[in-house]
Structure 1
């Protein structure tokens, strides 16, 4: 069984307020799953390993599987690699069990399993939604509902900086939410440029990343900011100049926003809530 899911770039990180905003990136994680086995194994870069996450997901369904992973998404980068893995795995399981590919069921189970496995502070419902559905999503991660979903044709770039991920201090991140609340209001209006900027101001200060990376390109015709908990930064829009400027800070990947679901999922109104 072969399935795939997209990477997710961040507009608003949900850690501070419970509201997240993300977009699907055309960096893909693909899995090939064999269910006719007696033990659970992940194979990645030709290396076999055990995984608590894999065990937790498969135990939920009473299954065993060998999962071969091929991913274009940098791990531990703030680009939704865990959400993409869970989406791809759940799609494979649903197909194996001949279950309807209901987006609501898959996304909410993704978030619940993410919390259970301890790989997310909020369930990452925003990342999961962008990874499965593509486009741009604004979500309430607490209620696991999508507030806004739209498609936007745009090129994008990802900066993999030459520094490591900073320490996540939830107390510091949640002590003053004013900037992120502004970001949420901008996102509600579809003003993603300002939403990303105010989100980045907050999280770069709280985690300790240099604001300079965004400041040097914020006046260009693009939306740019920190992705997830970092250390990666993302931008979309007219990113030609951004790509050149960001090369001074690390490696730059060129990609685009994806504007269709990663599989033939059924999207129902129950997944959505009004603004």
Structure 2
């Protein structure tokens, strides 16, 4: 038996840590997972030899349990375009794709929202997220603009948006340090005030969110300001950084990126 699962990356519009409400926009960077039964369990994270396999092992285990399947030995391969641990929702994407691959291999079906919630539980179990990242997981799977209540793992709204080019600027920062949740939650009122504007003014919310989060994590790169000056429609820290995400009009991404960033990934919204 063989199965395949695919998910995508996403960028932050509003970080969910401060007040529990989060928002993301899906991007076209992919994660693919191949799963098959085997005589021994082997896990391959392509081009990521130093990344812990605990998250994917937990996703496989909990998926098998959810469909009343006995534990099995398996071969699993993860191939991802999403750089890990920089704020592009790589863990959520891996969870979604891994669970989908296991289900596909076993001929089982599960509602996508249930797949997402199962992945969120696995991420919490493995301590790779502060909030559970329900907003991230929904953004990876559904694309478009997603607004969620991460305290209850509920979707508040989903909507399609115009297609934008997305510049992911990689500032070359060292691995991010874990910042206490309290550093974020002191800004709860400021983030609550942005919630009503997400649907109608998500570009501005993305930029404002990036400014607030940048202060918390100590981002002094000024890349977001440079992106806006270069012609980006919105720019700011994604997740808890250090990546800076900038949205531009379709077709203008490379031209704008070359004006302000020497190390970047160019993709699109989805």
* TM norm. shorter chain > 0.5: yes
1:186 is the counterpart of 2:173 = no
In 1, Cα distance between equivalents of 2:106 and 2:87:
31
Task: Choose which of 23, 33, 39 in structure 2 pairs with 1:37.
Answer: 39
Deviation, 1:68, is 1.2
Q: Residues 31-56 of structure 1: CA distance to partner in whole angstroms, max 9, x if unpaired?
A: 21122333242342395987222222
Task: Choose which of 9, 12, 22 in structure 1 pairs with 2:11.
Answer: 9
Deviation, 1:236, is 1.7
1:67 is the counterpart of 2:76 = yes
In 1, Cα distance between equivalents of 2:88 and 2:26:
10
Structure 2: gaps (5+ residues): 65-70
Which residues of 2 match residues 140-159 of structure 1 at below 5 A? 140-152=149-161, 153-159=163-169
Contact 1:156–1:237 (Cα < 8 Å) also in 2 = yes
Deviation, 1:182, is 2.8
Contact 2:236–2:244 (Cα < 8 Å) also in 1 = yes
Structure 1: gaps (5+ residues): 259-275
In 2, Cα distance between equivalents of 1:91 and 1:213:
36
In 2, Cα distance between equivalents of 1:37 and 1:141:
39
Aligned to 2:136, the other structure's residue is in SS state: helix
Contact 1:9–1:24 (Cα < 8 Å) also in 2 = yes
In 2, Cα distance between equivalents of 1:17 and 1:37:
47
Alignment partner, residue 160 of structure 1: 170
TM-score (norm 2): 0.86
Contact 2:36–2:105 (Cα < 8 Å) also in 1 = no
Q: Residues 154-213 of structure 1: CA distance to partner in whole angstroms, max 9, x if unpaired?
A: 2211111122244322121112323322332221x3311221122112111111012622
1:95 is the counterpart of 2:104 = yes
Alignment partner, residue 67 of structure 2: none
Identify the range of structure 1 (46-55 vs 117-126) with the bigger mean alpha-carbon deviation.
46-55
Alignment partner, residue 247 of structure 2: 236
Aligned to 2:173, the other structure's residue is in SS state: coil
Alignment partner, residue 175 of structure 1: 186
In 1, Cα distance between equivalents of 2:34 and 2:200:
37
Task: Choose which of 126, 142, 159 in structure 2 pairs with 1:133.
Answer: 142
Contact 1:5–1:28 (Cα < 8 Å) also in 2 = yes
Alignment partner, residue 252 of structure 1: 264
Aligned length: 255
In 1, Cα distance between equivalents of 2:127 and 2:52:
16
In 2, Cα distance between equivalents of 1:37 and 1:133:
35
Aligned to 1:218, the other structure's residue is in SS state: helix
TM-score (norm 1): 0.85
